[in-house]
């Protein structure tokens, strides 16, 4: 097993043994999306899309009803240009009234409703995918908080080991002072170094609480000082990963919208056939020679064909073609930038991997030197100041190694995040 795999289970140590909750990186990636306010926006987009489709269905299946009323006065009315003795010729009133109920039912719409529904579905899908793109960025924030907490925990672990070593050395040095084999200044040097370490632990605890609270706010999870953070080994596998970025799906969705809009635009040249009926009352009614209020009814078929839609059809096609080209340009820019980011991330993985090869050798040598210095300090042949120097050098070497191991984890997790996996 590779050494960095041991870091997959890094604990924030507690002075007392107690039950610890576990939070994984994959779990954070999942709940950060569920806890994001944009998730509600997704629900709203889905609901509005369904309502829009329902409206299109109703408008197609149900007849269109309307009420119309009109009252008018005109300066002249139709008159018969004849006069018959003894026969009164009715004369229309100049004030006229009409109230109607109109009904229209589309028999054939040239598949306009079907195309409108396709446009609506693809537009909703594109809007949902845009939200997915925005939410994908949250994973990078989670990665940063998660790995920084692990790095803080590792710093804390090493600082506690160093403090325990110093306290052990202080006890031995105090005993040496009583017997006159160790100078009092040696104890003071060790105590000063122990105080520095305690101060460092206090700062690390404060930093850890801040990072913990930020991660808790972002994800909505309960993360305490005893929470154990875990990175699953599968999260560090970077070989042969397919690209699964939400931006790619967004570009596909945008192209689908434009294709559906083109079909809907061309559909404007299709004829429409509908049935209509009109009933109402007015003065005059259908018989314009009758000046009484009367009811009336009329019904039939209506054919409409908007040939003027051809005037702008060519320009509309050009506009949609340009929009498709714009989407293609945006995708090329995204693909280029993503390729650069992945190459940079792979370079970072290779760089840190090379550093780890020497880190292990340096840590082993520093531990060996510190052990020798410890024996010399016990024998009184090494000053306490020189011993603390070697102790700090060993701690720094171990910290560098653990830091690089965590950085390698972060680089691999970031690589996976960049690929959308």
Confidence of residue 8 (pLDDT cuts 50, 70, 90): very low
Enter the DSSP assignment of 328: H
pLDDT of residue 405: 86
Whether 249 is covered by a domain: the verdict is: yes
Confidence of residue 180 (pLDDT cuts 50, 70, 90): low
Residue 241 belongs to domain spanning:
3-70+94-419
Confidence of residue 228 (pLDDT cuts 50, 70, 90): confident
Sign, CA dihedral 27-31-33-39, equals positive
Specify the CATH number for the domain of residue 318.
1.20.1600.10
pLDDT of residue 45: 92
Is the distance from CB of 109 to CB of 60 less than 8 angstroms?
A: yes
Whether 80 is covered by a domain: the verdict is: no
15/191: higher pLDDT: 191
Is the distance from CB of 333 to CB of 325 less than 8 angstroms?
A: no
Distance CA 234, CA 29 (A): 14
| E strands in 132-290 | 228-230, 272-283
pLDDT digit string, tens, across residues 281-317: 998 888 877 888 899 999 999 999 988 888 888 999 9
Q: Which two tokens stand for residue 219?
A: 């994800």
Distance CA 260, CA 316 (A): 13
Whether 367 is covered by a domain: the verdict is: yes
**Residue of 144, 62, 68, 136 lying closest to 105 (CA atoms):** 62
| E strands in 148-271 | 228-230
Whether 78 is covered by a domain: the verdict is: no
Whether 306 is covered by a domain: the verdict is: yes
Q: Which two tokens stand for residue 117?
A: 């529904």
Ramachandran class of 240: left when φ > 0, alpha when ψ lies in -120 to 50, beta otherwise: left
pLDDT of residue 164: 86
CA 64 to chain centre: 42
Is the distance from CB of 187 to CB of 170 less than 8 angstroms?
A: yes
Whether 186 is covered by a domain: the verdict is: yes
Distance CA 85, CA 87 (A): 5
- Beta-ladder partners of 64: 104
Cα–Cα distances in angstroms (integers) from residue 62 to residues 55, 57, 103, in the given order:
10, 8, 10
Distance CA 77, CA 362 (A): 111
pLDDT digit string, tens, across residues 53-74: 999 999 888 899 999 999 999 8
Q: Is the pLDDT of residue 213 over 80?
A: yes
Q: Is the pLDDT of residue 236 over 80?
A: no
Phi, psi of 223 (to 5 degrees): -125, 115
pLDDT of residue 179: 67
Query: Would you call 106 helix, strand, or coil by DSSP?
Result: strand
pLDDT digit string, tens, across residues 111-164: 999 999 999 999 999 999 999 998 888 888 888 898 888 888 888 888 888 888
Domain total in the chain: 1
Rounded mean pLDDT, 167-188: 75
234-248, 304-318, 333-347, 389-403: lowest mean pLDDT where?
Answer: 234-248
pLDDT of residue 12: 36
Whether 261 is covered by a domain: the verdict is: yes
Confidence of residue 13 (pLDDT cuts 50, 70, 90): very low
pLDDT digit string, tens, across residues 28-56: 988 888 888 888 888 999 999 999 999 99
Q: Which two tokens stand for residue 81?
A: 């240009």
Distance CA 127, CA 47 (A): 12
Rounded mean pLDDT, 382-397: 81
> Is pTM beyond 0.75 here?
no
- Count of CB atoms situated within 10 Å of the CB of 232: 12
Whether 82 is covered by a domain: the verdict is: no
Query: Would you call 218 helix, strand, or coil by DSSP?
Result: helix
13-22, 30-39, 395-404: lowest mean pLDDT where?
Answer: 13-22
């Amino acid at each position: 097993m590779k050494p960095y795999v041991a870091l997959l289970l890094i604990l924030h140590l507690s002075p007392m043994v107690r039950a610890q909750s576990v939070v994984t990186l994959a779990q954070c990636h999942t709940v950060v999306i569920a806890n994001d306010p944009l998730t509600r926006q997704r629900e709203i987009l889905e609901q509005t899309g369904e309502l829009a489709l329902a409206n299109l269905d109703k408008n197609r299946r149900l007849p269109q009803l309307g009420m119309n009323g009109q009252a008018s006065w005109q300066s002249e009315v139709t008159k018969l240009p004849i006069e018959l003795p003894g026969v009164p010729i009715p004369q229309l009133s100049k004030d006229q009234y009409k109230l109607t109920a109109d009904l229209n039912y589309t028999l054939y719409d040239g598949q306009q409703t079907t195309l409108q529904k396709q446009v609506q579905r693809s537009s909703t899908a594109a809007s949902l995918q845009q939200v997915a793109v925005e939410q994908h960025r949250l994973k990078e924030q989670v990665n940063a908080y998660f790995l920084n907490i692990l790095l803080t925990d590792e710093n804390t672990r090493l600082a506690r080991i160093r403090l325990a070593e110093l306290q052990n050395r202080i006890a031995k040095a105090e005993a040496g002072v009583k017997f006159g084999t160790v100078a009092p200044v040696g104890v003071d040097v060790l105590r000063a170094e122990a105080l520095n370490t305690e101060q460092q632990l206090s700062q690390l605890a404060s930093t850890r609480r801040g990072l913990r609270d930020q991660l808790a706010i972002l994800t909505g999870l309960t993360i305490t000082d005893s929470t154990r953070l875990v990175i699953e080994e599968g999260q560090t596998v970077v070989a042969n990963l397919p690209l699964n970025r939400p931006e790619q799906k967004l570009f596909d969705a945008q192209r689908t919208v434009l294709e559906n809009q083109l079909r809907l635009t061309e559909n404007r040249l299709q004829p429409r056939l509908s049935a209509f009926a009109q009933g109402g009352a007015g003065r005059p009614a259908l018989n314009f020679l009758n000046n009484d209020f009367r009811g009336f009814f009329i019904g039939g078929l209506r054919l409409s064909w908007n040939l003027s839609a051809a005037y702008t059809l060519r320009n509309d096609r050009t506009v949609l073609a340009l929009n498709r080209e714009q989407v293609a340009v945006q995708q090329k820019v995204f693909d280029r930038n993503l390729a650069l980011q992945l190459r940079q991330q792979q370079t970072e993985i290779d760089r840190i991997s090379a550093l780890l090869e020497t880190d292990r050798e340096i840590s082993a040598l520093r531990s060996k030197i510190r052990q020798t210095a410890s024996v010399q300090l016990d024998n009184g042949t090494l000053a306490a100041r020189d011993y603390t120097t070697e102790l700090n050098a060993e701690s720094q070497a171990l910290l560098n190694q653990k830091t690089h191991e965590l950085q390698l984890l972060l680089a691999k997790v970031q690589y996976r995040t960049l690929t959308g996996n």
